Amino acid sequence: MTIVVTGATGELGRHVVRHLLARGVKPAEIIAGGRNEEVLETLSALGVLTARIDYSDPSTLDAAFAGADKVLLISGSEVGKRVLQHKAVIDAARKVGAGLVYTSAPKASTSSLILAPDHKATEEMLEQSGLSYTVLRNNWYFENYNNTILQAAQTGSILTSAGDGRVASATRSEYAEAAAVALLSDQFAGDVLELGGDHAWDMRELADAVEAASGREVGVDNVSSDEHVAALQGFGLDEGTAGFVAALDANIADGLLADTDGSLARLIGRPTTSLKDYVQELIGK
């Protein structure tokens, strides 16, 4: 079986390649594709095949997908361009009849999450593609909060407009392992899986975890969305980025990232990493 991992030069994709190898896939059966030539060389050192893949250049997709049995479509990072890019990947997979696994967003088809529309459109294209596919709706990565955690350990404060909203996060590696499991089995064909950490936490719990790991008291500064945007701009973020961050916190406040049903743990065969353990490991580095 030949498995193509698109976006393999990103952090999630690199984890997927390593999990496939750890689960016994032969290096010659993995094609790691991406745009970063330096990272492709690093992946090549693992023994896997590599290919330049650019979602905006269909010719690179056709070349990389030749002979593929399974394709992992890791969602693109260019908001506003992703739907057309994802369509190109789906079209290329259809040409060779490859099964497809797609990394989506929580409840993408019904959610008002700011990131959902591109994922909803992609899922609709998959439904109409005629391909065998699996959708992995990944919740947040713990790694998204690395800067927040490290800054809190230094400053003793977390700035947020998420209110009492909760986040069912897990590590990037755990979501990557789930993708590897889905690629290696036909059991999940046609499934849309909502994946998240075992425990949904709020910002007070995050502050408590930082306190336990750092020994420093940490407060939570809960502000309005407008105040959050203004504060972020004061820290040097441009208006668009500040607005995006605050909008995500508003989504969290509305409970859009709080649901967890244990699907990720069942898929990887063990409990997901706890907030306390993740923070302890990050601060302890």
Same domain, 123 and 151: no
Same domain, 98 and 156: no
Q: How far apart are alpha carbons 232 and 251 in whole angstroms?
A: 17
Same domain, 207 and 119: no
What is the model's pLDDT at position 218?
A: 97
pLDDT tens figures, 192-203: 999 999 999 999
Same domain, 122 and 158: no
Tokens 């899922």 appear where? 123
Residue 155 in domain: yes
Phi-psi region of 119 (alpha: psi -120 to 50; beta: other; left: phi over 0): alpha
What is the model's pLDDT at position 78?
A: 82
Widest CA span in the chain: 57
CATH of the domain at 154: 3.90.25.10
Residue 182 in domain: no
Can you give the pTM of this predicted structure?
0.96
Phi, psi of 34 (to 5 degrees): 180, -175
What is the model's pLDDT at position 284?
A: 86
What is the model's pLDDT at position 42?
A: 95
Tell me the DSSP string of 164-229.
Answer: T--B--B-HHHHHHHHHHHHT-STTTT-EEEE--SS-B-HHHHHHHHHHHHSS--EEEE--HHHHH
Residue 176 in domain: no
What is the model's pLDDT at position 285?
A: 63
| Tokens (6 digits) for 22 | 């750890």
Same domain, 254 and 278: yes
**Amino acid present at 178:** A
What is the model's pLDDT at position 77?
A: 84
Same domain, 119 and 240: no
Residue 188 in domain: no
What is the model's pLDDT at position 208?
A: 98
The segments of the chain whose pLDDT lies below 50 read none
What is the model's pLDDT at position 254?
A: 97
Same domain, 10 and 130: yes
> In which domain, by residue range, is 63 found?
3-138
CATH of the domain at 7: 3.40.50.720
pLDDT tens figures, 29-48: 999 999 999 999 999 999 99
Number of domains in the chain: 2
Torsion sign over Cα 249, 160, 172, 277: negative
Residue 189 in domain: no
